[in-house]
Amino acid sequence: MINSETLAVAEAVPATEASAIIDALRSQADDILGTALEGSPLVSFAVGSAGNFPYYWQNPNNLLFNGATYNWIGHNLAAKATPAQLDSDLFTTNYIEVFSKIGYHLSAADNDLLSQAQKNATNQQMALLNAWRAAYGSLPAATATQQPIDIIMSTIASTWAKPATDLTSIQQASNLNALLNNTPASGQPIRPVLAAYLNALGTSVSLQNATTMNNGYLQNALLAVQSPTAANGGMAIDTISQLVPAYAVSTPLNDIINGLADTSNAVPLHMSVKRTSESEVTVSVNGSTGFSIPIFDFFSVSVGASASYFSDNIATSSNSVDISMVFSGVTLVNFGPVSFNPSLNTNWLWMEPITEAIQNAGADVSGFHFSPACTLDFSPNGPFGYLTGVAISNYPTVQITVTSSSYQSIATTFQQSSTVKASFLGIPLASVTESSYSHSVQTNASNSSVTITLTPPAPSVSGPVEGSVAWILGAQTHYPAASA
């Protein structure tokens, strides 16, 4: 567990160049976690500009959600990225764009039935509107999907009853006062007028109910993601003063910490490295066929004043180089956006309108529809996806074994240096001068080799550790509208 302040992410290594390494880590983590994945196997994941995972998701001092964790899990998945990677945009950005285009509309036949019923109930509707204006001074302003009568009905059903109810239940209530148990004093004169209006609508009240309530729910869910408040489920995080749309981590923090401390769950990685040109090396992972990668994208070590010691002195064409890593404490962390609760009008992720609108495209049926049409690609090739979990570990222990005629000189260089820095796939492994990694050196004269061991610090769970991050071995992805 390394503090993120010592691990600023370098320029991201192109995922395709390191795919064999990333796939090997994911495959072994998938085997270790097994049934814990609950049928959602890991996909290979490339760490990009967002960096590795800030697992310490809860501030131990005030229990607020860690802003770094919130920002990390709130990102879109990048479209067509292999291995998977986070995009620079937040998932809520795409969600708002899609959700803003949805309305609940009746089919032509159902709309005719409701229109005729409303004509028959015109006098009662006018009486209800007049009663509302007398009580509150004005009528609600019409929106693109709702007339004033619809907004009034939605307000009554969703806020005048606890728990929220619907128009059909109001129409059929044997005791309207008991059902509308949260009616404000100003609304008391409206209740009998409301009952008369619903009775006048007769059997068509279900059509009114569907239109009014569903469009009201759409407005409430959209408001919860656009303007989060305490009342609609907005969540406080520790880095900003305003509330944000709620995400939740379902894995308790203590389970994460204990999982990282269990070093018996570990993923080993062995790589043979051969210098093939001035700028590239060929890397063989766990004995597989080698692949080419720019040397500085793969691995770097700086010792003392030499910023490119690995390239200049270790991974030379005349040396034999093996790198072994162990990623211990393999742990699964699950998280995701909090789903909309229609009965409480709280939180925001509501996929049913989106999937139904996709299915209803071009059809004259009552239900959710896009207006205007939505052209976003909802498949796994598109941007409408997010992570639901990550397999994490501690940062790796690294052993670099160099067989070389200059092995003794390499050993002496490390032994005499207090400043050793390393990076793997563009991700810094920190510096021994920052009390992060320690290093040791062992030589073997019989085969002219030297082994340099870089060791991460022992896990620590005390003190201010919100900056702690963990290595990502793989991820669980979700494209919530892909099967619509």
Percent of the chain with pLDDT over 70: 94
> Does residue 447 surpass a pLDDT of 60?
yes
- For residues 264 and 222, membership in a common domain is answered with no
Residue 193 lies in a domain: yes
Residues 288 and 422 in one domain: yes
149 and 210 housed in the same domain: yes
Boundary-marking domain end, from 373, 397, 430: 373
Is the pLDDT at 6 greater than 70? The verdict is no
Residue 432 pLDDT more than 60? no
Q: What is the pLDDT of residue 17?
A: 76
Report the number of distinct structural domains present in the chain: 2
Do both 169 and 124 map to the same domain? yes
Q: Which of 183-187, 278-282, 461-465 has the lowest mean pLDDT?
A: 461-465
Does residue 93 surpass a pLDDT of 50?
yes
Q: What are the backbone dihedrals phi and psi of residue 410, each rounded to the nearest 5 degrees, phi first?
A: -65, -45
Q: How far apart are CA 333 and CA 142, in angstroms?
A: 44
426 to 3, 6, 40, 207: CA distances (angstroms): 17, 14, 28, 58
pLDDT band for 436, please (50, 70, 90 cuts).
low
38 burial via Cβ count (<10 Å: 0-12, 13-18, 19+): exposed
Same domain for 78 and 113, yes or no, is no
**In the predicted model, is pLDDT for residue 3 greater than 70?**
no
Same-domain pairing of 281 and 195? no
- Please write the tens of the pLDDT for every residue from 270-281: 999 999 999 999
Distance (Å, whole) CA 124 – CA 127: 5
Residue 94 within any structural domain of the chain? no
CB 75 within 8 A of CB 88: yes
For the cut 70, the answer to whether the pLDDT of residue 102 exceeds it is yes
Q: Give the span between the Cα atoms of 323 and 80, in whole angstroms.
A: 31
The string of pLDDT tens digits covering residues 10-54 is: 445 555 678 999 999 999 999 999 999 999 999 999 998 888 999
- Gap between the Cα atoms of 90 and 96, Å rounded: 10
Largest interatomic CA distance in the chain: 103
The SS3 call for residue 446 is coil
The whole-number average pLDDT for the span 302-310 is 90
Note down the domain range covering 49. 2-88+249-332+388-478
97 in any annotated domain: no
| Domain annotation covers residue 379 | no
Residue 462's pLDDT band (boundaries 50, 70, 90)? very low
Confidence of residue 468 (pLDDT cuts 50, 70, 90): confident
| pLDDT value of residue 48 | 86
Residues in the chain: 484
Angle between helices 108-120 and 190-201 (to 10 degrees): 130
Q: How many CA atoms lie within 13 A of 277 on its CB side?
A: 6
Could you count the other beta carbons within 10 Å of the beta carbon of residue 181?
12
75: its two tokens: 């990102």
Output the CA–CA distances (angstroms, integers) from residue 343 to 157, 207, 220, 397, in the order listed.
Answer: 10, 19, 11, 51
pLDDT given for residue 433 in this prediction: 52
Q: Are residues 253 and 395 in the same domain?
A: yes
Q: Give the mean model confidence (pLDDT) for residues 332-349.
A: 95
Express each pLDDT in 127-175 by its tens digit.
999 999 999 999 999 988 889 999 999 999 999 999 889 999 999 999 9
In a domain, 244, yes or no: no
Mean pLDDT calculated for residue range 447-473:
79
381 lies in a domain?
A: no
Are residues 164 and 268 both part of a single domain? no
Instruction: Give the bridge partners for 339, in sequence order.
Output: 349
**pLDDT number for residue 168:** 93
Q: Give the residues across from 134 on adjacent strands.
A: none
The percentage of residues in the chain with a pLDDT greater than 90, rounded to a whole number, is: 80
405 shares its domain with 301: yes
* Per-residue confidence (pLDDT) for residue 59, from 0 to 100: 86
Question: Does residue 125 share a domain with residue 196?
Answer: yes
Q: Does 346 reside within a domain?
A: yes
Answer yes or no: do 202 and 65 share one domain. no
Same domain, 219 and 355: yes
For the segment 279-307, the average pLDDT, to the nearest whole number, is 92
Q: What is the pLDDT of residue 60?
A: 82
User: What are residue 474's DSSP bridge partners?
Assistant: 391
212-270 tens-digit pLDDT: 999 999 999 999 999 999 999 999 998 888 999 999 999 999 999 999 999 999 999 99
Is residue 239 in some structural domain? no
